[in-house]
Amino acid sequence: MDFEVAYSPEQEQFRAEVRAWLAEHVPQVEGDRDSDENYEKYRQLGRELGAKGWLRPAAPVEYGGGGLPVDHAIVIAEEVDRYDLRLPPYYDSGGTLGGASILVWGTEEQKRRMLPPIFRGEVVTWQLLTGPEAGSDLAGTTTDARRDGDEYVLNGEKVFVGGSHGADFLWTIARTDATGERHRNLSWFLIPADLPGIQYRRMELLGDGNEGIGSGYKNTIYFDNVRVPAAQLVGGENNGWQVASTHLELEHGAGGRIGSNRLFRMTREWARQLKREGRPLIEHPDVQERLVDVFVQTEVTRLLNLRNYWMNQSHQRMSYEGPQASYYGKMAGLEVSQAMMDIIGPYALTTDEEWDVSRGLVEPYLKSAIVALHPGGTADIQKVIIARRIGVGRDIAERAGDTGGQAAF
Ligand SMILES: Cc1cc2nc3c(=O)[nH]c(=O)nc-3n(C[C@H](O)[C@H](O)[C@H](O)COP(=O)(O)OP(=O)(O)OC[C@H]3O[C@@H](n4cnc5c(N)ncnc54)[C@H](O)[C@@H]3O)c2cc1C
């Protein structure tokens, strides 16, 4: 059985079109990819992709998406990945995941109002789920939203959220019935980010300043009597956990980034250029063995993600596949970044121009692989979900959250 997708001549023609367009439009950036200047360039690219319908290629046209079939969406995702970018080409956690939640749970009015700016790249949305008291146990949040006329009044705190360059909207989950039954006492809000009473404070974390790979920083965000219009509640009062199950299903790997085995190709290139004992690294058997490990792990990660993207977009019933890809990707990330360091050895440490073919990237990759164990559900939590879905630890296998076939666009 061949897992690789075979592309038709028509799909390859579309790929050539996408590749040519990207070659013309993807900006040249220098230095820190997360600098203000570079971030603006990527925002602009996002708007141009959005205007073409390629920012959220498979999302419905009437809500600002491209309305393209799944195979075209895959081609675009693969071509964007060649630049080590994703869709959108900047941090937009809430739009990527939350757009699908609006499609599944929003009213028609909400879809027409909220989705086009997200799908065209006109606004940035962050997801604010984790609280100091509620990480893995998200349903235990103590952020409160009390109804007051046509508004909800929010109080609480969210941690590890957002990015470096501000947002236009914030997704959050809050208790709308503080004494209600667990999982039936929460609601899901899309909040304008500039409402009075919202305070932002930067968090210092291990992954900060991973300049070469453009990772930004996270924030603590406080809600202090923030008055949110009731029209911003999505999915019905006290139905927030059900909305979250859509959002989290996507975040747990059911249809996110496909990715590529770029890290393998990059490391192989370094091994061709660098020498040990007068011979290119790639001629040494120990390096060859490690390179094969890197290939297998990056390739399996890519294939699991590709399968999930396809399953999700073609409305297949999903089960353990999302957390399986997430868990495998997190663990493979650790091993791949370690292998990259083992392969180039002391070259990973130098910034001397003559030898620094890795451009100082190995150390940030290593740090980011450790950090990546946590967001979007920790590696442990992915295992817990897989176990429930395959009937381990529970007699009746748990069903996956309803994504309505909506990939994280
Ligand atoms: C870089 C980064 C980016 C992030 N971005 C966001 C964001 O944009 N938005 C957002 O809302 N949150 C974000 N987070 C927060 C992230 O979702 C949480 O860190 C994560 O859900 C874990 O929660 P916690 O940190 O409170 O750890 P805890 O839930 O307290 O877990 C502590 C440890 O216990 C383990 N554990 C907990 N429960 C179980 C269990 N039932 N079984 C087995 N082991 C368990 C965990 O795996 C972990 O090792 C981000 C975090 C990081 C590090």
Q: In this structure, is residue 183 part of a structural domain?
A: yes
Number of domains in the chain: 3
Report which of 101, 118, 102, 98 is spatially closest to residue 110, judged by C-alpha positions. Answer: 102
Q: In this structure, is residue 103 part of a structural domain?
A: no
164 and 189 in a single domain? The answer is: yes
Q: In which element (H, E) is residue 170 found?
A: strand 169-175
Last residue of one domain, picked from the residues 200, 215, 238 = 238
Any idea which residue has 């083992």 for tokens?
Answer: 342
Q: What is the pTM of this model?
A: 0.92
71 and 143 in a single domain? The answer is: no
Last residue of one domain, picked from the residues 238, 264, 279 = 238
Q: Return d(Cα 88, Cα 84) in angstroms, integer.
A: 12
Range of the domain at 142: 125-238
217 and 325 in a single domain? The answer is: no
CB of 374 within 6 A of ligand 1: the answer is yes
348 and 259 in a single domain? The answer is: yes
How confident is the prediction along the chain (409 residues), in pLDDT tens digits per residue? 566 668 899 999 999 999 999 999 999 998 888 889 999 999 999 999 999 999 999 899 999 999 999 899 999 999 999 998 989 999 998 888 888 899 999 999 999 999 999 999 999 999 999 999 999 999 999 999 999 999 999 999 999 999 989 999 999 999 999 999 999 999 999 999 999 999 999 998 776 665 555 567 899 999 999 999 999 999 999 999 999 998 888 888 877 778 888 899 999 999 999 999 999 999 999 999 999 999 999 999 999 999 998 888 777 888 999 999 999 999 999 999 999 999 998 888 776 666 677 777 888 888 889 989 999 999 999 999 999 999 888 777 777 776 766 655 5
Atom number, ligand 1, closest to the C-alpha of residue 132: 26
Quote the ligand 1 centre to 303 CA distance (angstroms). Answer: 26
CB of 130 within 6 A of ligand 1: the answer is yes
Q: In this structure, is residue 348 part of a structural domain?
A: yes
229 and 269 in a single domain? The answer is: no
Atom number, ligand 1, closest to the C-alpha of residue 377: 21
Q: Return d(Cα 261, Cα 297) in angstroms, integer.
A: 9
* Atom 8 of ligand 1, residue of closest alpha carbon: 161
Q: In this structure, is residue 244 part of a structural domain?
A: no
Q: In this structure, is residue 168 part of a structural domain?
A: yes
Here the CATH number for the domain that contains residue 208 is 2.40.110.10
Q: In this structure, is residue 320 part of a structural domain?
A: yes
Q: In this structure, is residue 120 part of a structural domain?
A: no
185 and 163 in a single domain? The answer is: yes
158 and 234 in a single domain? The answer is: yes
233 and 334 in a single domain? The answer is: no
Q: In this structure, is residue 289 part of a structural domain?
A: yes
CB of 375 within 6 A of ligand 1: the answer is yes
234 and 256 in a single domain? The answer is: no
Atom number, ligand 1, closest to the C-alpha of residue 93: 8
The pair of three-digit structure tokens given for residue 236, joined into one six-digit string: 């019905």
Q: Return d(Cα 1, Cα 233) in angstroms, integer.
A: 46
227 and 330 in a single domain? The answer is: no
Is beta strand 151-161 parallel, antiparallel or unpaired with respect to 144-148? antiparallel
338 and 306 in a single domain? The answer is: yes
384 and 320 in a single domain? The answer is: yes
Q: Return d(Cα 357, Cα 397) in angstroms, integer.
A: 49
Here the CATH number for the domain that contains residue 56 is 1.10.540.10
Quote the ligand 1 centre to 183 CA distance (angstroms). Answer: 19
Last residue of one domain, picked from the residues 215, 238, 261 = 238
